[in-house]
Structure 1
């Protein structure tokens, strides 16, 4: 199992290499010293000049950067999450001072307070100014640094939108004050916590206690995920936690899957075209991204509308498809199907015929459109 995990991390590292890697020495006024940053830009960052990208901030980047960057590159390649800018802070031996806290109130103190301000007041503004960023930022930390990222939840508003806590070594009292603080956070927060059955005993117990407190919270703005990986150690849980966290945080971003089609589209009481528009409105609201509706999602919602006889949704989806993909057969096919089901065969025939010179999509071929038009002509004698 260890060999498989090592190989997996290596593969992810090689995937990350396909993105653009930048090393930077950042001179910090707050820290009074320079810090080395490792930044991965998305594959097509330079060519997509109008596109903006969420940020993933990685503490302990000396060993966490590659698995995080590799997973981000892999998931975004398959559209399971948006392409993102990964910013790693190289810490090495400074991680303990960076994450230091006061022994009375257990909040960042001395170098820890400086590091806290470095990230919030220098690093994130620098990344926003230098690159095209969306207003969605995730932080990733492991043990000491996982504890540290939680302090940003006590800011109003919190600095980060997502928190990936891998076996956090929590400061005293955080496990009690954090569940009290979260219901007062007004902005949308994604929070992921992971441990393993072979994790360091004290850390696993603390994670389980925190999970007990967090899973019962009632808040419309707090989305919580927890994993306790069977057989995972303090270090191997990282390779399992990172992809799980990204998959869960960006669940709404993914293309409509077979499961979503079966369990949601075929059962929802919401009109299917409204469900489609709401999905992309949610993506815009959560992640600051105004993405065009995917062809996959047009096909899924169009087929569901056909099967459920939601004719108004079928028409709306067809009109949306014609606007977003005017050179494809998508709009012609679903609008033709709308006219067929609405008892207007002549309009259906003409709509199918008018797609003869357009780009084919998935199962919707020009031959299929012409076959449907010919069948209507034969059936009705046009």
Structure 2
């Protein structure tokens, strides 16, 4: 169980998402006859050809762009959810500059000009400069949310996603919210995501207004139109964005992180093609082929089927010259799972080469390199144990060099793997035994669940003593293993053999 846990932990270690960097920009608007200030947050490691979706908001109320950008980084870094590369844009404008009128639900003259500036000047500039797709999300809170509803009703072509928090309503009829037949037809044919939230602790009139909107908008819910409404517990008016934003982001990008193709398609190539087409149709971007969260579901399907044709199709789709060491290792291991040992050997070699050449400064790379050495030794080099032993020695060297790195999960377990390899292959047994005894000493005060179980350690020590013809110590350690786990099959079998040979 603990060995399985170690493998799972290794598989689940994904690279931290990129931090966001902010850029302050200005644009002279011919529609406004004035300069508009805005700030753009982009992932700091964006690369040439990288595509982005975009979140737009105003510097009004609680829809804070800086918080949104940092939250995206946080959610990706800790694998709480997986979001594609996202640009966040904050346009500097107060209520007069935005120009939305509660009483009519329409825009002032200045508001019309501001909207023309956004449509005709800001959008084209940003989409050209930052390679952004036309999948745009509008985010707003309170007055900003009501403005967002105006866009949803009267400018449906501008945004493909809405994240609206605590829309404001001043009187029973202000602002109005009605969905026309034309809108029903429009949203029935265009992929759109609409997320609406209110707070249980907000004024009742606001909760009622959000509920009214939800009742009308949910009529649009279909394959194309995706709708969710939440009345958030513990949320009031000003903190509904902070509480609801993670859920909103997860909802908006749910089509990016779902893989229904794998449930019904018998060809991996077809599943990959249909998934990519769906992501492009919804978001205007390509899937991140180097993202663990994208390729892992396909590898899981391959593991379940033990399908070599699916594995080769996945390699062809996901692996390129730009693929990193971590991904190369994951595909190498998956090749071994389905029985493609030569492909596994080649991919492990590429992973080791890539990590050593370009990636040793990355926090997870030393652990990935050790994983490659260990899996090569135990799984791929069975016909050449001498090379396997040498690889484990390299793994030990890397582990000792980087053992202060909290992302290294191999210290002190590397000593166990060396001892186990020696016992399994009946080579360098004395050295292997010394590694195991050292491991016992260093293992004493460590958390059990994330390290090799003591019954397995004692069994392996007993096996080494047996190979060295030290029956007394072999029996001693095998008994220790059985005292901890009476059902340890290998320990029971070896103990019976020793007793029969007496």
TM over 0.5: yes
Unpaired segments of 5 or more residues in structure 1?
1-16, 341-347
Report the Cα offset of residue 331 of structure 1: 4.8
- Among candidates 271, 278, 288, match of residue 266 of structure 2: 271
Alignment match, 1:247 = 250
Provide closer, same or farther for how the CA distance between residues 277 and 230 of structure 1 changes in structure 2, counting only shifts above 3 A. Answer: same
- CA offsets 1:160-189 (integer angstroms, 9 cap, x no match): 111111111257474332687244233211
Larger RCO (CA within 8 A; separation ≥ 6): 1
Unpaired segments of 5 or more residues in structure 2?
1-17, 353-367, 386-502
* Range with bigger deviation, 362-371 or 139-148: 362-371
* Range with bigger deviation, 365-374 or 51-60: 365-374
The structure that has the greater radius of gyration is 2
Q: Pairwise mapping of residues 67-216 of structure 1 onto structure 2 (< 5 A)?
A: 67-77=67-77, 80-92=82-94, 94=96, 98-100=99-101, 103=104, 106-154=105-153, 158-169=157-168, 172=174, 174-177=176-179, 181-185=183-187, 186-216=189-219
Question: How far apart in 1 are the matches of 2:141 and 2:312?
Answer: 50
Indicate whether 1:237 and 2:240 are aligned: yes
- CA offsets 1:126-183 (integer angstroms, 9 cap, x no match): 3224332222111111122212123333457610111111111257474332687244
1:196–1:237 contact (8 Å) kept in structure 2: yes
What's the TM-score, normalizing by structure 2? 0.58
Aligned length, in residue pairs: 341
Report the Cα offset of residue 215 of structure 1: 2.4
What's the TM-score, normalizing by structure 1? 0.74
Question: How far apart in 1 are the matches of 2:175 and 2:99?
Answer: 19
Provide closer, same or farther for how the CA distance between residues 125 and 295 of structure 1 changes in structure 2, counting only shifts above 3 A. Answer: closer
Partner-residue secondary structure (3-state), 2:228: strand
1:167–1:207 contact (8 Å) kept in structure 2: yes
Report the Cα offset of residue 68 of structure 1: 2.0
Alignment match, 1:365 = 372
Question: How far apart in 1 are the matches of 2:83 and 2:286?
Answer: 14
1:190–1:224 contact (8 Å) kept in structure 2: yes
Report the Cα offset of residue 280 of structure 1: 3.5
Indicate whether 1:33 and 2:24 are aligned: no
Question: How far apart in 1 are the matches of 2:255 and 2:186?
Answer: 24
Question: How far apart in 2 are the matches of 1:284 and 1:211?
Answer: 28
Q: Aligned Cα RMSD in Å?
A: 3.6
Q: Pairwise mapping of residues 294-309 of structure 1 onto structure 2 (< 5 A)?
A: 294=290, 296=292, 297-309=294-306
Partner-residue secondary structure (3-state), 2:350: coil
2:200–2:207 contact (8 Å) kept in structure 1: yes
